[in-house]
Amino acid sequence: LFNNPTNNVIGSKRFYSIEQLKQKTKNQKLIQWVEEQAKLCKPDKIYICDGSEEEFNRLCNDMVEKGVITKLNSSKKPNCYLARSDPSDVARVESRTYICSNKKEDAGPTNNWMDPKEMKATLKPLFDGSMKGRTMYVMPFSMGPLGSSISHVGVEVTDSPFVVCNMKIMTRMGDKVLEQLKENDSFVPCLHSVGAPLKPGQKDSNWPCNSTKYIVQYPDERAIVSYGSGYGGNALLGKKCFSLRIASAMARDDGWLAEHMLILGLTNDKGEKKYIAAAFPSACGKTNLAMMTPTIPGWKVETVGDDICWMKFGKDGRLYAINPENGFFGVAPGTSASSNPNALKAIDRNTLYTNVALTPDNDVWWEGLSNPPSKAIDWTGKEWAPGSKTPAAHPNSRFTAPLNQCPSIDPAWDDPKGVPISAIIFGGRRSSTIPLVYQALDWKHGTFMGASTASELTAAAEGTVGKIRHDPFAMLPFCGYNMGDYFSHWLSMENKTKPELLPKIFYVNWFRKSPSGKFLWPGFGENSRVLKWIFQRCNAKGMEYADNSPIGIIPANDSLDLNGLDISKDNIRQLFSLNKTEWMGDLKSMREYCKQFGNKLPKEMNQQMDNLEKRFKDF
């Protein structure tokens, strides 16, 4: 019976499947927790996910038969499906996201907070019976390679089969994780409901959700509860909720780093390889950099991850990184054969699409992919044609695809040891002020650079286009505790190893513009020239390839490889020009921003700001 998938789902006898869970694990905490959620949510059925391909296909076929998702053209996009969300449920909801630490000051000024007791009292009636008429799926999952000492296990229960299929791609999920989870091991419990119980005979909608939404993290007890949304970051709880908000609190307590960073391997023309992690706010090209094709002959970029990075110290005193994820959850619009050919190849099979357009031949399309089709069905399910006033694909439409389908995947992407990190890059979108690249003077200065990460808002986000938003370490929506304590935690890394073993820290800006508003730097594959300088600086003794400047270490004259690049001397001059007035303006804004952290702001931050001002004194 246990091996027969059709028998896993068993009418109203819900505890039969708990029996099945008991066959699979001796972890009493897990069994108890699942039982409690079932009693609260009152699903019709319970289903323990095994994580197999067969299960994925079965759940997808089932959704296709119910008309919930569409199977794409098998000759163009084998094993791919399209889902259209409720038009109100298309993105992460930061205003409904809470860090419910026991003490309010531990959530800090940049997070929404509610007392955990009050939050639980609020959520209980919402979850009571929230899965009626539905199946509760139980998914054990590992964030990170199985058997890695850097990885952590979670268990998500959800009433959405679409969430199950996404989690199957985005995490290592199912029986293999239960086999790893020993009797007394802890796990992060993740409760998710779309909040749309069905009355007997009631017709389901294709994307059930609730206008009331709560995305709740309890960092002290390492637990996650999410209500009302079926969308990505709100519902795939292994991703932002666990791997960033909960994991950052774990990392604070246990001396490691959980970061909003891509990880790439960079190999030079002599075959020497270094790994680099990079944090950029959204809409700054993290996925493109992670999968970039260098224009410098003989150099190679390989992809470990495009969104999240966990780093722990190895026995040798270096930081080793894993990508906790198993897939890409990327923004579709703008992805094309010229902007990111590797991404495009990664998503041509076994991929779930959400809110992109459907072409007449049952393929997908989005703005920026190619010339528009003569007609299409837009993301809301309506007829669309070129010239239409609304976009065919939602601007935040997504693909969910297995990591190992990426042609540039790094051979060590699944290595339990992780990869040693030589350099950390911060960056944002800034049309002025910030040069193409500079290097931190030391770890403290690098921490300050991470903390001062800021980016101009684009048309894709709410707010005034061009307005600069502070986004420290690109973690503003994802830090699971007080951002002031987070700065201190970064500073404390220096005490855990020898300074020369810590990654070197850099800041980049691909987006600087001339006074006439033209980009000064071509970007994309040409960014490999900047990566090359970073690589050389990691090997350098002292000031090789480098000059001092008030802001830190900058490339020496002619040390940036511009061979074969058609760029004027004047563009290069502008890319690296430093304007004291602009920098003092940024500094003033940073001082203002830091005030909100009060006595949680480490004194080293003020010191760094004073030092920067002093270095500019005679400039």
Question: How far, in Å, CA of 502 to CA of 318, rounded?
Answer: 6
Q: Residues 89 to 118: which contact ligand PEP by CB under 6 A?
A: 91-92
Choose the one of ligand PEP, Na ion, Mn ion, none that binds residue 489, judging by a C-beta under 5 to 8 angstroms depending on kind.
none
Least Å distance between CB 398 and ligand PEP? Answer: 8
- Whichever of 123 and 215 has its CB closer to ligand PEP, that residue is 215
Helix or strand run (H / E) with residue 277: strand 273-279
Question: How far, in Å, CA of 48 to CA of 547, rounded?
Answer: 59
Binding mask 316-335 for ligand PEP (x = CB under 6 A): -------------x------
- Whichever of 110 and 282 has its CB closer to Na ion, that residue is 282
- Whichever of 91 and 250 has its CB closer to Na ion, that residue is 91
Q: For 575, phi and psi rounded to 5 degrees?
A: -60, -30
Pick the catalytic residue: 260, 489, 504, 512?
A: 260
- Whichever of 232 and 428 has its CB closer to ligand PEP, that residue is 232
Told to judge if 307 belongs to the known catalytic residues of this protein, a careful annotator would answer yes
In sequence order, what DSSP letters do the residues of 49-113 get, joined into one string? ----HHHHHHHHHHHHHTTSEEE--TTTSTT-EEE---TT--S--GGGEEE--SSHHHH-TTSB-
**Of 308, 297, 303, 313, nearest to 275 (Cα)?**
303
- Whichever of 233 and 373 has its CB closer to ligand PEP, that residue is 233
Binding region for Mn ion (CB under 5 A) out of 288-296, 303-311, 481-489, 539-547: 303-311
Least Å distance between CB 282 and ligand PEP? Answer: 4
Choose the one of Mn ion, ligand PEP, Na ion, none that binds residue 476, judging by a C-beta under 5 to 8 angstroms depending on kind.
none
Alpha-carbon distances of 501 from 9, 311, 424, 442, 546, rounded to whole Å: 53, 13, 13, 12, 20
**Of 614, 608, 613, nearest to 440 (Cα)?**
608
Least Å distance between CB 56 and Mn ion? Answer: 24
Residue 498, judged by CB atoms within 10 A of its CB (0-12, 13-18, 19+), counts as exposed
- Whichever of 8 and 234 has its CB closer to ligand PEP, that residue is 234
Told to judge if 229 belongs to the known catalytic residues of this protein, a careful annotator would answer no
- Share in percent of the chain as helix, strand, coil (round to 5): 30, 20, 45
Told to judge if 594 belongs to the known catalytic residues of this protein, a careful annotator would answer no
Strands (E), 359-460: 364-365, 376-377, 383-384, 398-402, 419-427, 437-439, 454-456
Least Å distance between CB 309 and Mn ion? Answer: 11
Choose the one of ligand PEP, Mn ion, Na ion, none that binds residue 152, judging by a C-beta under 5 to 8 angstroms depending on kind.
none
Q: Which residues pair with 402 in a beta bridge?
A: 327
CA dihedral 450, 456, 462, 465 (to 10 degrees): 170
Question: How far, in Å, CA of 358 to CA of 441, rounded?
Answer: 51
Question: Is the four-CA dihedral 403, 325, 319, 485 of positive or negative sign?
Answer: positive
Using the rule CB under 6 A, is 162 a contact of ligand PEP? no
- List residues binding Na ion (CB under 5 A): 91-92
**Of 61, 528, 60, nearest to 269 (Cα)?**
528
Single-letter residue type at 417:
K
Binding mask 186-225 for ligand PEP (x = CB under 6 A): ----------------------------------------
Q: Residues 269 to 298: which contact ligand PEP by CB under 6 A?
A: 282
Q: Are 184 and 414 in contact (CB under 8 A)?
A: no
Binding region for ligand PEP (CB under 6 A) out of 232-240, 351-359, 403-411, 598-606: 232-240
- Within 8 A by CB and 6+ apart from 221, the residues are 116
- Whichever of 302 and 307 has its CB closer to Mn ion, that residue is 307
Question: How far, in Å, CA of 153 to CA of 27, rounded?
Answer: 13
Q: CB 548: neighbour CB atoms within 10 A? A: 12
Told to judge if 92 belongs to the known catalytic residues of this protein, a careful annotator would answer yes
- Whichever of 144 and 420 has its CB closer to ligand PEP, that residue is 144
Using the rule CB under 5 A, is 106 a contact of Mn ion? no
Q: Choose, by CB under 6 A, the member of 159, 259, 307, 410 that binds ligand PEP.
A: 307
- Whichever of 106 and 307 has its CB closer to Mn ion, that residue is 307
Least Å distance between CB 238 and Na ion? Answer: 16
Told to judge if 282 belongs to the known catalytic residues of this protein, a careful annotator would answer yes
Q: Which residues pair with 554 in a beta bridge?
A: 547
Pick the catalytic residue: 240, 245, 318, 394?
A: 240
Told to judge if 231 belongs to the known catalytic residues of this protein, a careful annotator would answer yes
Distance of CA 62 to the CA centre of its chain: 29
In sequence order, what DSSP letters do the residues of 447-480 get, joined into one string? HHHHHT-EEEPPTTSSS-TT-EEE-GGG-TTT-S
DSSP label at residue 519: B
Pick the catalytic residue: 307, 363, 414, 485?
A: 307
Least Å distance between CB 477 and Na ion? Answer: 9
- Whichever of 460 and 562 has its CB closer to Na ion, that residue is 460
Give the residue at shortest CB distance from Mn ion.
Answer: 307
Choose the one of Mn ion, ligand PEP, Na ion, none that binds residue 329, judging by a C-beta under 5 to 8 angstroms depending on kind.
ligand PEP
Using the rule CB under 6 A, is 232 a contact of ligand PEP? yes
Q: Which residues pair with 400 in a beta bridge?
A: 329, 352
Least Å distance between CB 237 and ligand PEP? Answer: 11
Which tokens hold the place of 17?
């499947």
Binding region for ligand PEP (CB under 6 A) out of 35-43, 140-148, 233-241, 377-385: 233-241
Told to judge if 549 belongs to the known catalytic residues of this protein, a careful annotator would answer no
Using the rule CB under 5 A, is 307 a contact of Mn ion? yes
Pick the catalytic residue: 49, 165, 284, 406?
A: 284
* Interface residues toward Mn ion, by CB under 5 A: 307
Catalytic residues: 92, 231, 240, 260, 282, 284, 307, 398
* Interface residues toward ligand PEP, by CB under 6 A: 91-92, 232-233, 239-240, 282, 307, 329
